[in-house]
Amino acid sequence: MEHWRAIRALIDSGQAERALSAGDTAPDFELEDANGNSVSSRKLVAEGTLVLTFYRGVCCPYCNYDLQALEDVRTLIEDRGARLVAISPQTLANSRESQRDNKLGFPILSDAGAHVADRFGLRFELPADLIEVYKQFGNDLPMINANPQWVLPMPARYVIGANGVIAYAEVNPDYTHRPDRPSCCRYLISSAMIGRHRPGRKHRVLPLAGARLSSLLKIPKLRRFYPMPIKIYGDPGSDSLRRVTSAAAIMGTAIERVNVDLFKGESRTPEFLALNPHGLTPVMVDDETVLYEASAINIYLAEKAGSDLLGANDQERHQVLQWMFWSGEQWRVFSVLQFNERVGNRFLGEAENKSIVDLALKNIRAAAAVLDAHLADRRFIVGDHLTFAGIDIAAPFSQVTRNHPPFAEFGHLAAWQQRLLDTVPAWAATKQEVDVRMDAALAAAGIEL
């Protein structure tokens, strides 16, 4: 996705680190407020501490959220004799709209061409592919800003002392992440306003600690303009990942896949273990929410999408949950055991343990018999449509060509699985993905099953 690539490029460029920071003298400026009145920074600074926030513009929901967060602390700021002012490259009319829509009691100054932002080291040009994306979404910056240049400031917040020296600076090359309200407020009160900032600290670039944007991003229009990709970590050979990727495809949920090569031990790195201490995939990261366990991820995604994969009504939902839990405890666990013995061990150069395989097969057959009876007169596990009950129960079919479980002994179960492959394209596509990945891994390791 172009805008994520662009954010990455901006972070990697190191521009944020080069922007003006604590200890630097803030440049003077003279800009117009939303009503066309001229505002001079010298005058503002002479009146006391100045809190300056650089703002991308009316079309950026993250920035609007940020402005609202600042509005919440404005009285606190003003009570301490400081002034809060926003600067944006947008036109006066758009600033009036921002002020009205966000109910702001502080001014937005128009910085046409982002020249003041440039003097703070914040201005950057949008890359050509991102411009195309903006155009497709009708986000015409030259029109919004009445300036032919496709330039924006990195969102930034400065606290400038009465001597014109910057006391506090934070620059966010990733515009989708903002400081949360308490930390902003805390700093403004405890450090800058009463002069307890740490002089040795030259510059602050906030780590990617996110603001809570989930409520904002529930607005479909904004999601369309600023989609936040939900990251799903996993290896394409994994049937647990398959449960999530097929569910996401069925629900039409956009996800960003992050490959974790299980054959290279990539789920055991400190970074990955920080996401899931069990070192297992899949893992989902959606803004501040981190989840492991495919079923939990799927429930999260379904609730977000309002999908009936979780059941079309309360009664169905309870049935779906029953079968999901059953699947974890009575069904999949034994297939995993058998797969690990029969296939997983081969990668480790170990032989299968016959008594473990026998135990697994005994339990697989017992559970399969229950399923077979359940499916004798049903097309679906629950209700008259596919649900997570079906997806969870279907997962062990992912490895059948490798671990050869005795599913064919159970006619209704086998027919149900075939129906799923024939009627749910996402299920068929993900089967292919698992097969290609697993067969390639086996071939690369020289394993014949």
Ligand X SMILES: N[C@@H](CCC(=O)N[C@@H](CS)C(=O)NCC(=O)O)C(=O)O
> In angstroms, what is the minimal distance from the CB of 279 to ligand X?
5
Rounded to whole angstroms, the Cα distance separating 359 from 223 reads 49
> In angstroms, what is the minimal distance from the CB of 444 to ligand X?
17
Distance of CA 130 to the CA centre of its chain: 19
Q: Would you say 60 or 336 has its CB closer to ligand X?
A: 336
Q: Is 394 in the site for ligand X (CB under 6 A)?
A: no
Q: Would you say 158 or 397 has its CB closer to ligand X?
A: 397
Helices (H) and strands (E) in the chain, counts: 21, 13
> In angstroms, what is the minimal distance from the CB of 293 to ligand X?
5
Q: Would you say 226 or 292 has its CB closer to ligand X?
A: 292
- For residue 248 the two structure tokens come to 């996401």
Kindly tell me which residue out of 239, 316, 341, 433 binds ligand X, with binding defined by CB under 6 A: 239
Q: Is 441 in the site for ligand X (CB under 6 A)?
A: no
Q: Is 293 in the site for ligand X (CB under 6 A)?
A: yes
Q: Would you say 171 or 367 has its CB closer to ligand X?
A: 367
Please check whether residue 35 is in contact with residue 29, taking contact to mean a CB–CB distance below 8 angstroms: no
Please measure the distance between the N-terminal and C-terminal CA atoms of the chain and give it in whole angstroms.
39
Q: Is 294 in the site for ligand X (CB under 6 A)?
A: yes
Please check whether residue 368 is in contact with residue 407, taking contact to mean a CB–CB distance below 8 angstroms: yes
Of 179, 134, 170, whose CA–CA distance to 152 is shortest? 134
Kindly tell me which residue out of 73, 262, 301, 324 binds ligand X, with binding defined by CB under 6 A: 262
Q: Amino acid identity of 13?
A: S
Q: Is 240 in the site for ligand X (CB under 6 A)?
A: yes
Q: What ranges make up the beta strands (E) of 182-337?
A: 230-234, 255-259, 283-286, 289-292
SS3 letters across 264-286 = HCHHHCHHHHHHCCCCCCCEEEE
Q: Is 192 in the site for ligand X (CB under 6 A)?
A: no
DSSP state of 25: B
> In angstroms, what is the minimal distance from the CB of 353 to ligand X?
17
Of 181, 156, 178, whose CA–CA distance to 169 is shortest? 156
Q: Amino acid identity of 101?
A: D
Q: Would you say 4 or 263 has its CB closer to ligand X?
A: 263
Residue nearest to ligand X (CB): 238
Q: Is 430 in the site for ligand X (CB under 6 A)?
A: no
> In angstroms, what is the minimal distance from the CB of 374 to ligand X?
21
Site for ligand X in 295-314 (CB under 6 A): 295
Residues that bind ligand X (CB under 6 A): 238-240, 262, 267, 279-282, 293-295
